[in-house]
Amino acid sequence: MPAWLGYIITFISGGFAGAILNRIFHLRDKAIKKLTLKIIKEEVKSIIPVIVNEKNYQNLISKKFVLHNTTNQDYPELDIVFEFDKGSEIVFKEISSQKHGTNKFAYTERKPSELVYHIKNFNRKQELAFSFEVGNITENFFCSIIDNCGVDIIVVNSQSYNQPSISPSKIVHKIDLE
């Protein structure tokens, strides 16, 4: 076999291998990044009617979540939507971070049962802790999504139940809540 034929085969196969490797790295970099949201604690505060902030609620449940940035990117802006049962109402809300402190992020209330946090500078290996008290829960539905970028949330149940009478949260898609 002539030497020039070996050079041509090497050139073509090297270009093909380079194109495949380029495509693999391109697909990996463009894949949807996923943040981890852990359900830490669910606690029934009251199963009898209770008055909080001069409003009457049939029940009151406390929920705690921790959001971890396990991706390899820093996010300058994120909008995280938390939504609970259709007829429920968020009574108490708190967000804390070691870097920023407590309740330092802006939020928007779309509905009494839906809240959007506007997170700025969510860096790698950073954690945010969310605490909610929700009144008038009927089916214990919960939905969380990220609004404004190509990031998705994985919800993990690593929670402790303080009363055995509470059923675990049913994690649903936003469409199921409506």
- Which pLDDT belongs to residue 73? 82
Alpha carbons 43 and 139: distance in angstroms, whole number? 15
Per-residue confidence band for 35, with pLDDT thresholds at 50, 70 and 90 = confident
User: What is the DSSP secondary structure assignment for residue 54, as one 8-state letter?
Assistant: T
> What pLDDT sits at residue 129?
92
Q: What is the pLDDT of residue 178?
A: 58
Count CB atoms within 10 A of the CB of residue 96.
16
Where are the domains positioned within the chain? 1-31, 33-177
Q: Which of 21-25, 30-34, 95-99, 168-172 has the highest mean pLDDT?
A: 95-99
- What Å distances lie between residue 94 and 69, 81, 131, 134, 161, CA to CA? 19, 14, 5, 12, 20
In this structure, what token pair is assigned to residue 98? Answer: 């070691």
Q: For 74-133, what is each residue's pLDDT tens digit?
A: 888 888 999 988 888 899 999 998 887 888 888 889 888 899 999 888 888 888 999 999
Pairing of the two strands 55-57 and 50-52: antiparallel
53: left (phi over 0), alpha (psi -120 to 50) or beta: left
Topology of 33-177 in CATH? Immunoglobulin-like (2.60.40)
Give dist(CA 90, CA 93) in Å, integer: 7
pLDDT of residue 175: 61
